């Protein structure tokens, strides 16, 4: 009986964590600063993305990039990708890269 109850609590906790994460600060930052080019789902399926040659985060090439490489691109920019070093803290960039990883799993 006790075991079942803790299992329920545990399951609920596990289920709530990604939900909270999805609506966390990284998600809203992504929505306000990145989604216009990368698309809300990161797949770059927007007219702006097509015009600018934005890569899909869900592509094999993007998945292969290391966190350090993605972090460098967010901070320093690359091609038409703007640099965000002056606007975002190191922690925010780290959270955004982690958020991009969640988009790659969808
Ligand atoms: C003005 C449009 C635009 C905005 C806004 C933008 N990006 Fe980009 N992003 C690009 C383009 C274009 C590229 C491709 C750069 C290249 O490879 O030449 C890119 C590439 C990237 C890459 C590298 C992907 C890969 O696989 O190489 C990451 C990571 C990234 N952007 C993250 C972000 C984040 C995080 C934000 C918001 C803080 C953001 N971008 C906002 C246009 C944009």
Q: How far apart are CA 30 and CA 27, in angstroms?
A: 5
Nearest CA to ligand 1 atom 26: 62
Question: Within the chain, what is the greatest distance between any pair of CA atoms?
Answer: 59
Per-residue pLDDT of the chain (106 residues; tens, 9 = 90+): 565 665 555 455 444 444 444 568 899 999 999 999 999 999 999 888 999 999 999 999 999 999 999 999 999 999 999 999 999 999 999 999 999 999 998 6
Give the ligand 1 atom nearest the CA of 36: 5
- The Cα-based distances of 83 to 9, 80, 89 in angstroms read 43, 9, 12
Residue 4 C-alpha to ligand 1 middle, in angstroms?
Answer: 46
Give me the domains of the chain, ranges plus CATH numbers: 24-104 (1.10.760.10)
């Amino acid at each position: 009986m006790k075991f079942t109850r803790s299992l329920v609590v545990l399951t609920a906790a596990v289920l709530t964590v990604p939900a909270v994460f999805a609506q966390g600060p990284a998600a809203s930052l992504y929505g306000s600063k990145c989604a216009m080019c990368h698309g809300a789902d990161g797949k770059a399926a927007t007219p702006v993305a097509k015009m600018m040659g934005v890569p899909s985060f869900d592509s094999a090439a993007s998945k292969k990039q290391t966190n350090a490489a993605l972090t460098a691109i967010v901070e320093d920019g690359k091609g038409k990708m703007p640099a965000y070093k002056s606007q975002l803290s190191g922690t925010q960039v780290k959270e955004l890269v982690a958020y991009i990883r969640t988009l790659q799993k969808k």
